[in-house]
Amino acid sequence: MTQLRAAIIGCGNVGSEYTTLLTLPGVQSHAHAYTEHPGTQLVAVCDIDPQKAQRCATQWEVPHWYSDHREMLQATEPDVVSICTPDDSHTSIGMDVLQTKSVRGIFCEKPLDTDLEKARQLVEASARQEVALAVNYIRRFDSAFMELKRQVQQGEFGTIQAVSGYYGKGLLHNGTHWLDLLRYLFGEVAWVEGSMTDFSFEDDTTYNAWFGMQSGFNAFLHGTDHTAFTLFEMDIVSSIQRAHLTQGGRLISYYARQASDVIPDDYGLGAEPFATATALETPVLDGVSNLVTHLEGKGELACTGNDGVSALEIAQAVQLSAQIGARVNLVH
């Protein structure tokens, strides 16, 4: 197997340091994923903080480290580049990556950008230059979420009645994870109504939002204060069962409809799950694997640049709705 030459821009948490900072098992950073995957070789890393770049290179035995990404791109000519920098820098750095003729794929951290129009420009530019653009909404790459989606789409889960959830740490930074998962599992959003909370992540406000899905049901997302505790959940209620996503989506618990033991001729849900699925044990590695498979011509990207744009379109509609105090329709 010919290995793809990989490079990373941004050696902070998700770029490298989550591997040692988090107590989770598995592969939790881009550097670890490229090192682990047999189809990639991590040849260079970059961070504007030279100490971070050098620390990353040392930890993963990378031959070259830089503090200027343009210099790195020119000197090392990678095939694949991960962008793990602050949210609002993704498009500008992505445009620099696209100037590198050797690059065949970009793996960009979420959100694609904080500015919707800039995100669209990056998607359009990557398409013109036939460079694959993947966005790291991690749940799309996980087999447990793929199975849940299959059940929903094939009708095995039952008719969806309602979906609700919780998140914190800003609508763009973390909320778009939930918005993307909503689209991934259930299809397009028809309209949104948003309201502000008192919580935010830096200048990224955390919103409450109500969604009307094109498939007919409604969903609601509650914004929470991430400084109190971290919360990311989704609760899915159908005509025959319930799925509760907890622990950031690392656990999916299924509860079955059953005859009530209290009220005759009535039904409820089992007190204990009839099945559980663990997820997100190798989230970034799964994303790298998907990108490598795509570049080998053996499969589609699980999360494209267009998916990243769609999540931002929903987020922008939530922001606009809160601003004008009215429902905002989405056209697809």
Report the percentage of the chain scoring pLDDT > 90. Answer: 93
Backbone φ and ψ for 82, nearest 5 degrees, come out as -95, 135
Q: Are residues 128 and 163 in the same domain?
A: no
CB 182 within 8 A of CB 126: no
Q: What is the CATH number of the domain that holds 247?
A: 3.30.360.10
76 and 216 part of one domain: no
Q: Is residue 153 part of a domain?
A: yes
Domain match, 63 and 205 both: no
9-21 tens-digit pLDDT? 999 999 999 988 8
Q: Which two tokens stand for residue 155?
A: 């009708």
267 and 146 belong to one structural domain: yes
The per-residue pLDDT for 23 is 82
Q: Look at residues 69, 146, 157 and name the one whose alpha carbon lies nearest to residue 300.
A: 146
pLDDT in tens, 89-108: 999 999 999 999 999 999 99
Residue after which a domain boundary falls, among 135, 163, 189: 135
> Which three-class secondary structure state does DSSP give residue 46?
strand
Q: Is 288 part of any domain?
A: no
Query: How confident is residue 217, by pLDDT bands cut at 50, 70 and 90?
Result: very high
Asked if 131 and 145 sit in the same domain, the reply is no
CA distance 151 to 148: 5
Q: Are residues 44 and 58 in the same domain?
A: yes
Whether 243 and 181 have beta carbons less than 8 Å apart is answered as: no
Same domain as 171, residue 317: yes
Q: Are residues 182 and 325 in the same domain?
A: yes
Element (H, E) at 174: none
Q: How far apart are CA 9 and CA 50, in angstroms?
A: 12
Q: Is residue 13 part of a domain?
A: yes
Task: Give the residues across from 212 on adjacent strands.
Answer: 191, 218
**Neighbouring-strand partners of residue 219:** 163, 211
**CB-CB contact of 157 with 255 (8 Å):** no
For residue 49, the domain's CATH number is: 3.40.50.720
117, 135, 153 - which closes a domain: 135
Q: What is the pLDDT of residue 1?
A: 62
Given this model, what pLDDT does residue 22 score?
A: 86
- Are residues 87 and 160 located together in one domain of the fold? no
Confidence of residue 263 (pLDDT cuts 50, 70, 90): confident
Asked if residue 289 belongs to a domain, the reply is: no
Query: Do both 145 and 228 map to the same domain?
Result: yes
Residue range 178-204, pLDDT digits in tens:
999 999 999 999 999 999 999 999 999
For residue 295, tell me if it sits in a domain. Answer: no
- Structural domain containing residue 118: 4-135
pLDDT, mean over the chain: 96
How big is the chain by its Cα radius of gyration, in Å? 21
pLDDT score recorded for residue 261: 80
How many domains is the chain built from?
A: 2
54: Cβ contacts below 8 Å, ≥ 6 apart: 65
Last residue of a domain, one of 115, 135, 155: 135
* CA nearest to 131, candidates 123, 139, 121: 123
Q: Kindly report the pTM of this predicted structure.
A: 0.96
Pairing mode of beta strands 132-135, 105-108: parallel
Q: Which of 303, 168, 311, 182 is nearest to 234 (CA)?
A: 182
Cis amide linkage into residue 25, ω under 30° from 0: no
User: Quick one: CA torsion of 63, 122, 170, 53, rounded to 10 degrees?
Assistant: 10
Give yes or no: residues 107 and 174 share one domain.
Answer: no
- Integer CA distances (angstroms), 139 to 49, 149, 181, 280, in order: 30, 11, 7, 7
Residue 52 φ then ψ, to 5°? -65, -45
In a domain? residue 118: yes
Q: Give pLDDT tens digits for 20-50.
A: 888 887 899 999 999 999 999 999 999 999 9
Q: What is the pLDDT of residue 188?
A: 98
Is residue 162 a contact partner of residue 217, using CB atoms and an 8 Å limit? yes
End-to-end CA, the chain: 41
Task: Give a yes or no: residue 17 inside a domain.
Answer: yes
Same domain, 149 and 250: yes
